[in-house]
Amino acid sequence: MIPMNQRFALLAASLLLASCGAAPPAASTSDLADPPEPSGPAVRIEPALSRLAPGSVLRVGARRVCGFSVDSPVFLDGRGATIVACDSSPGPVDALPQLTAGIFLRPTASGSAITGFRFEGRGVTDGAPGALAFGVFSRGAEFVVVEHNRFDGTVQAVTDNGGRGWLIDGNRVRGLEVFGCPGTCGGGDAIVLAHSRVSDASADDAFVTSNDVRDLPPPSDLIFSVTGVLAYAVRGPFILNNTVSLPGSPTIGIEYTRTAGGVLIDVPCGGGRIIGNHVRHADTAILVTDDCAADTIVEGNRTGTGMTPLPTTRLIGAPAPQPLGLD
């Protein structure tokens, strides 16, 4: 686990990286004005990416682009670009190749930053053309910044599977969808931090801050939970000042656990900070299971419109989440 002073140094460095060449963020994520959605055919940007040296900046601009993979550390400045699913878009789940990602980060893309994009995933569970299942998806990429993006639909907006030291800040998720059962049977988790199920790689020491997740009504017969932020068998997540509004049932605002999708990952879990979040409408506001409670602090959170602090819930009280694509 990264020492506390180094973790805040990493956060400061990430914020500095994310601010290079970008406009200052608005004061409130929920109050950001939406730019007009670009029109026209989607274009591929892999040729431009392939010409970049590691650490370079790619400014995309207000157009539609096909989902793509990233193989080296780059700063991706969307500047109003909308990412859609195309035949060329990456499918990060081998068993479900039809489920595409907007940006798929490989381990060699560690140190990348992603800002200013809109991810189009509305209607993905109904087979809508051009709809992404995943927004940003990664296996093993470390020290990534994902900030000030908008995710419409999708079944998982940001998925960090096994990459430590991420900063996920100031993003908006609207109308997240979920695949019911029978069928694909999974998803419905806006932000996922996960330990790998097949290696020691883990999304430890991540910061999830000032994100706004709203309007995620699941089907009434869903057998697993829809979740705003899921920290799955990771060490030291900082989950701070997020707004999560989850109407319907079964729903969990924020969950910290070693079990998801029926799979227990038997690794040390704890040291989290869940502070200053506002959770509304969910069946369970904040759930910390016993096996992740050690040295975890839950304080200063709100529920509904009041200021009542939320206690740490140490027993599983709702159906577990079922994220897709984890290995």
Q: What is the tens place of the pLDDT at every residue in 225-274?
A: 999 999 999 999 999 999 999 888 888 999 999 999 999 999 999 999 99
- Mean pLDDT across the stretch 101-118? 98
Give 178-237 pLDDT, tens digit per residue: 999 989 999 999 999 999 999 999 999 999 999 999 876 788 789 999 999 999 999 999
Global pTM reads 0.89
pLDDT, one tens digit per residue, over 281-314 is: 888 889 999 999 999 999 999 987 554 445 444 3
pLDDT of residue 318: 56
Integer Cα distance of 50 and 45 in angstroms: 9
Phi, psi of 289 (to 5 degrees): -80, 160
> Pairing between strand 259-260 and 263-264?
antiparallel
**Distance of alpha carbon 289 from alpha carbon 292, whole angstroms:** 6
Alpha helices in 20-154 (DSSP H): 46-50
Q: Is the peptide bond before 250 cis (omega within 30 degrees of 0)?
A: yes
Q: pLDDT at position 312, please?
A: 46
For 108, counting Cβ atoms within 10 Å of its Cβ (0-12 exposed, 13-18 middle, 19+ buried), the class is: middle
Query: Can you read off the two tokens belonging to residue 209?
Result: 């801050």
187 and 230 Cβ atoms separated by less than 8 Å: no
**Confidence category of residue 36, pLDDT binned at 50, 70, 90:** low
DSSP 234-276: -B--EEES-EEE--SSSEEEEEEESEETTEE--S--B--EEES
Using 50, 70 and 90 to split pLDDT, how confident is the model at 35? low
Res 158: pLDDT? 98
C-beta of residue 281 within 8 angstroms of C-beta of residue 247: yes
Q: Per-domain residue ranges for the chain? A: 4-303
